[in-house]
A and B are shown apart, each in its own frame.
Chain A
């Protein structure tokens, strides 16, 4: 399932043609964009290049940005996706890179986006909720064992899984997730 994850976001009024707008957009969105770039390119240096290229392209096309169509965040992510595709292509034709055996793994873009979103959402929910989901779901530990370790009843662990998934849903919706 590939959700239409980036349809919504914080709406920001105005074009992006001024350098001051770019500075503000960078302050608001660079962390997320960089996180996704690292996740999809698997390389910090390339991710920096991708984020830089994203903001430069956004500035060049700033007059075309229309907040009535979509949020600034959505627009920046759309540009970043194109940049990541371009960088991926450039790397694919660059001779010799793959031979060195250091080529970072490149996931398909949609998969990388989905992974990054879930990971980002997990980072944003509360520690208690994240921990029970990690221990029971990702590590597959029995609920009773996790309950004993945390010193709470097993029922509490189960309810934390529920509230944790609820919180994840809310965060993902804030990030633009729609069913």
Chain B
């Protein structure tokens, strides 16, 4: 028979006891021990709720968890991207809807809208995503073609909070087309949305001047140029 000094031995019977499967002398001995051992009572109190949950499970399901099909993630991403584009189109329509006031103005509005939707020479160009990193600084940018030029959604990490970032797109011949400025704020992970007049099809590189450092991410020909090496230009 175990003694009170064998607290650990008693404790190791608590699982079987919590499941209601401890019998005979062991059960009587453990119950006597529990009366005098607050530690084991506390331990039992932790196990009992778990034991009560067990009947809800189906042991046939323990071996393997069902896994989502591999293409589900891409399908969700495509659905969300499609919905976002629809939302942007609706916003544009609302913006230009204000022109539809009367005869001549309505005709003008139609013309403007047609140029907006059809013009720009960037039709069919897929969006590009560049992710680049150098010496603790990482920059993530998604470039989308628009009739007016290129929309840039950008995240910068690794520079000092408050750093002013100036973004431009570099076109053929190294000509810079400004896209705007933003400040990197530590702890604020919303993206910066910028735009440049340069068509995406003519964009050769994304240039970010963060404080005194300038980063250049060349844009490959592939639609998705991920993990591009970041060139840091001397300042």
Which residues of A are interface residues toward B (Cβ below 8 A)? 1, 3, 13-15, 17-20, 22-23, 26-27, 30-31, 34-35, 38-39, 44, 47-48, 51-52, 55-56, 59-60, 111, 114-115, 117-120, 122-123, 130, 133-134, 136-139, 143, 155, 158-166, 168-169, 172, 179
Contacts and interface: CB of A to CB of B under 8 A. Distances in A.
B65 A19 contact: no
Nearest to A112: B56
B204 interface: no
Interface in B184-198: 187, 189-191
Contacts of B46: 166, 169
A170 B210 CA distance: 46
A120 B58 CA distance: 11
A48 B56 contact: no
Interface of B: 11-16, 18-19, 21, 46-47, 49-54, 56-59, 61-69, 72-73, 75-77, 79-81, 83-84, 140, 153, 155, 187, 189-191
Contacts of B54: 118, 133, 137-138
B184 to A, nearest CB: 15
Contacts of A143: 16, 21
The 3 A-B residue pairs with the shortest CB-CB distance, nearest first, are: A162-B15, A161-B15, A118-B57
B191 A18 contact: yes
Nearest to B87: A60
Contact of A114 (B12, B56, B69): B56
B168 to A, nearest CB: 23
Given A44-B66, A122-B62, A165 B72 contact: no
Given A55-B80, A168-B50, A163 B59 contact: no
Given A31-B67, A119-B61, A123-B62, 9 more contacts: A15-B190, A22-B76, A23-B77, A52-B79, A115-B56, A118-B53, A165-B15, A165-B19, A172-B53
Contacts of A47: 66, 68
Nearest to A59: B80
Contacts of B49: 1, 3, 179
Contacts of B47: 162, 165-166, 169
Nearest to A17: B190
7 contacts: A27-B73, A30-B68, A30-B73, A52-B75, A122-B59, A123-B64, A158-B15
A29 to B, nearest CB: 11
B76 to A, nearest CB: 5
Nearest to B191: A18
Chain A CB within 10 Å, residue with most, of B52, B62, B75:
B62
B69 A35 contact: no
Contacts of B140: 20
B16 A161 contact: yes
Given A19-B84, A111-B56, A123 B77 contact: no
Contact of B19 (A19, A115, A137): A137
B166 to A, nearest CB: 22
B81 A56 contact: no
B192 to A, nearest CB: 11
Contacts of B14: 162
